[in-house]
Amino acid sequence: MKELAIDIESFSDVDLSKCGVYRYASSPDFDILLFGYSVDGGDVKVVDLACGEEIPADIVEALSDDSVIKWSYNNNFERVCLSNYFGTWFEPGSWRCTMVWAAYLGLPRSLEDVGAVLGLEKQKLSEGKELIRYFCIPCKPTKANGGRTRNLPEHDREKWERFKAYNLRDVEAEMQIQQRLAKFPVPDFVWEEYRQDQEINDRGIGVDMEMVKNAIAMDGRSKAELSAAMQELTELENPNSVQQMKRWLSENGIETDSLDKKAVAELLKTAPEPLGEALALRQQLAKSSVKKYQAMENAVCADSRAHGMFAFYGANRTGRFSGRIIQLQNLPQNHISDLAQARELVKAGDFDAIAMLYEDIPDTLSQLIRTAFVPQDGRKFIVADFSAIEARVIAWIAGERWRLKVFEGGGDIYCASASQMFHCKVEKHGVNGHLRQKGKIAELALGYGGSVGALKSMGALEMGLAEEELQPLVSAWRDSNPNITEFWWAVDRAVKECVKKRIPTETHGIRFDYQSGMLFITLFSGRRLAYVKPRIGENQFGGESVTYMGVGGTKKWERLESYGPKFVENIVQAVSRDILCYAMRTLRNCSIVAHVHDEIIIEADKRMSLSAVCEQMGRTPPWAKGLLLRADGYECSFYQKD
């Protein structure tokens, strides 16, 4: 036996979508109902565990045999569920994920959607959702069903037979996907990255549940008090209603189309009392901080750790990770100076002290979300991140010498950028310090072909820049970075020539290939970015553009448009991701518990050296000669933004 294709159907009283597979599979009520499998591409068999059948001994043995590769779609689910079912942990080294393979080739992540896109002969059966609802999740007790809370095979034999057929078809569909993708295998080093991702998900990160429970209780009390104050002030039946609030504001002399965060902040600048007070109360009520605490409460397992928070290849355009369940990728920042004190008061449930010391309770709770993540067993967190990783990568690829010199000298890229743009010395908190902000916003908005619109969406006008300053800022940045600007259009030309003539092209050490209806971009690491069915189209300005099939903003499979600077953004972010993965491999023995964008969080022994971690993390990969990296970090007894 060399390969085993697996698909399982299971029952648990825990909500998988809210709590994640680790909590789902560790429930006392968890059970595996059906085990579909195929050995080395042979016929699919379904073991009906719910009706007393047993998985053959050689198949059980293969699950823990590292010489047998185990394939499934969303492999993490099968591996974690089977580990819990057998009471023995299956290490991820010999487990492979067909979903990751699909994502690597720019295809959707859902089995149903991949089947449709590839036009498989044996696609996932559409009735599956209804059958899963019937057999895999608890049912409501009613008179008609005799008050039961779970549907078993004997409650509907015909449905059960259909469910077995559904399980069998899933294995067939997964095997067909592998056959269709066989021409373009995932490189071994990417499977190694996947293995480490699975190890990090298995390890999990500690959560201070006492603090979480008290934060949820405080938020409830705070919301009740704010609602009561708002009701008293406005005399509205439901002051949380957008319609009622708009009408009340209108009756009191303020017209507004929206009550979103941005609109309320704008109205607050000029609103007279008591309208200003009502808007301020609304702003506090709108804080959704408690949702993160509730997500923690849902996901944390018996070991007081949250597991499974990272989706490998979650962003399949670049291969970057995405967040799941608690979503570490978008936590609010913390600016409270006495963070430890505020945290202790919340942990102790001292509502009155928090109310007295911090006037905005929802905002305080929001800023404390990070601090709910804690190291366990007397260890510490070491948090290390790359300094200006994307700015370094784009300067290195494009050969923008003045930028590379700034990084060589350990300079501030925002000051240096402003100096270059405005032809004067700019120092942080020093000479022409006010220009640093313009340098910063230009850096963040303009590196990938952005123009006036990009500056506006980055908040340029809110930061005090005038409308008439924006276009000159764009021109100044591009004039200061001629090599980066040339890099955009060199990539644009290379992609178009590759797609039009279906020949390999190359620029700046990056290779473009057209193969079997796919555009591949080979990065320095050897990893490839994939774009499905590329062709030359027309953009909104009547010019030429490259289009390809992908999952767009609507979450649907559709034709998307791209051009040089956008491809450059994909390339730079993908290279930055490869650098993070290289650093994670370098530090793989250091108990990494989480990573966010360009940051790594390690649960470390008290004796571990911060400087040694930063030195290791800042090492340049062998495939990126000449790229200067720097990692900075700090130690903490709870997670925070330094």
Paired strand residues for 528: 522
**Is the domain of 178 the same as that of 251?**
no
Over residues 295-341, the pLDDT tens digits come to 999 999 999 999 999 999 998 889 999 999 998 888 888 889 899 99
Cβ-based neighbour number of residue 332 at 10 Å: 17
**Is the domain of 127 the same as that of 181?**
yes
- Residue 99 belongs to a domain with what CATH number? 3.30.420.10
pTM of the full predicted structure?
Answer: 0.92
The answer to the question of residue 256 being in a domain is: yes
Total structural domains in the chain? 3
Quickly state the pLDDT bin for 461 (edges 50, 70, 90): confident
Q: Which of 438, 459, 480 corresponds to the end of one domain?
A: 480
Paired strand residues for 48: 34
- Extended beta strands in 151-297, E state: 205-206
Q: Which of 186, 220, 241 corresponds to the end of one domain?
A: 186
Q: Which of 314, 330, 346 corresponds to the end of one domain?
A: 330
The answer to the question of residue 56 being in a domain is: yes
What is the model's pLDDT at position 257?
85
**Is the domain of 305 the same as that of 432?**
no
**Is the domain of 145 the same as that of 10?**
yes
Contact 300, 213 (CB under 8 A): no
Over residues 204-221, the pLDDT tens digits come to 999 999 999 999 999 999
DSSP letters of 471-497? HHHHHHHHHH-HHHHHHHHHHHHHHHH
> What sections of 111-156 are H helices per DSSP?
111-118, 128-135
Give the pLDDT mean for 150-179.
96
Paired strand residues for 315: 320
- Given a cut of 90, whether residue 238 has pLDDT beyond it is no
Average pLDDT, the chain: 93
The answer to the question of residue 110 being in a domain is: yes
- Given a cut of 90, whether residue 637 has pLDDT beyond it is yes
**Is the domain of 73 the same as that of 179?**
yes
Kindly give the interhelix angle for 564-586 and 389-398, rounded to the nearest 10 degrees: 120
What is the model's pLDDT at position 484?
97
**Is the domain of 63 the same as that of 166?**
yes
- State how far the Cα of 69 lies from the Cα of 49, in Å rounded to an integer: 23
**Is the domain of 143 the same as that of 281?**
no
Give the pLDDT mean for 132-158.
95
Query: Percentage of the chain surpassing pLDDT 90?
Result: 72
Quickly state the pLDDT bin for 289 (edges 50, 70, 90): low
Over residues 125-144, the pLDDT tens digits come to 778 899 999 999 999 999 99
What is the model's pLDDT at position 288?
66
Over residues 70-83, the pLDDT tens digits come to 999 999 999 999 99
**Is the domain of 312 the same as that of 261?**
yes
The answer to the question of residue 147 being in a domain is: yes
Query: Cα–Cα distances in Å, from 413 out to 345, 346, 440, 443?
Result: 39, 38, 8, 8
- State how far the Cα of 493 lies from the Cα of 510, in Å rounded to an integer: 13
- State how far the Cα of 80 lies from the Cα of 82, in Å rounded to an integer: 6
Over residues 344-401, the pLDDT tens digits come to 999 999 999 999 999 789 899 999 999 999 999 999 999 999 999 999 999 999 999 9
Structure tokens at 1: 């036996």
What is the model's pLDDT at position 466?
86
The answer to the question of residue 591 being in a domain is: no
Cβ-based neighbour number of residue 133 at 10 Å: 11
Phi/psi for 206 (5° steps) reads: -65, 145
Contact 550, 557 (CB under 8 A): yes
The answer to the question of residue 464 being in a domain is: yes
Query: Percentage of the chain surpassing pLDDT 70?
Result: 99
Phi/psi for 637 (5° steps) reads: -95, -5
Over residues 574-608, the pLDDT tens digits come to 999 999 999 999 999 999 999 998 999 999 999 99
DSSP letters of 556-612? SEEEEEE-HHHHHHHHHHHHHHHHHHHHHHHTTTS-EEEEETTEEEEEE-TT--HHH
The answer to the question of residue 412 being in a domain is: yes
Quickly state the pLDDT bin for 460 (edges 50, 70, 90): confident
Q: Does 312 or 462 have the greater pLDDT score? A: 312
Over residues 408-450, the pLDDT tens digits come to 999 989 899 989 888 899 998 888 988 888 888 888 889 999 9
- State how far the Cα of 544 lies from the Cα of 267, in Å rounded to an integer: 43
- Residue 292 belongs to a domain with what CATH number? 1.20.1060
The candidate with the shortest Cα–Cα distance to 601, out of 338, 331, 302, is 331
Over residues 246-284, the pLDDT tens digits come to 888 888 888 888 888 888 888 888 888 888 888 888 888
**Is the domain of 69 the same as that of 182?**
yes
**3-state percent helix, strand, coil for the chain, nearest multiple of 5:** 50, 15, 35
Find the radius of gyration of the CA atoms of the chain.
27
Helix (H) or strand (E) holding 514: strand 510-515
Domain extent at residue 469: 401-480
Give the pLDDT mean for 189-218.
97
What is the model's pLDDT at position 502?
97
**Is the domain of 148 the same as that of 281?**
no
Q: C-alpha 338: how far from its chain's center? A: 30
- State how far the Cα of 395 lies from the Cα of 447, in Å rounded to an integer: 10
**Is the domain of 53 the same as that of 125?**
yes
Over residues 540-572, the pLDDT tens digits come to 788 899 999 998 888 889 999 999 999 999 999
Structure tokens at 201: 């998900």
Give the pLDDT mean for 82-106.
97
- State how far the Cα of 580 lies from the Cα of 319, in Å rounded to an integer: 12
The answer to the question of residue 632 being in a domain is: no
**Is the domain of 97 the same as that of 149?**
yes
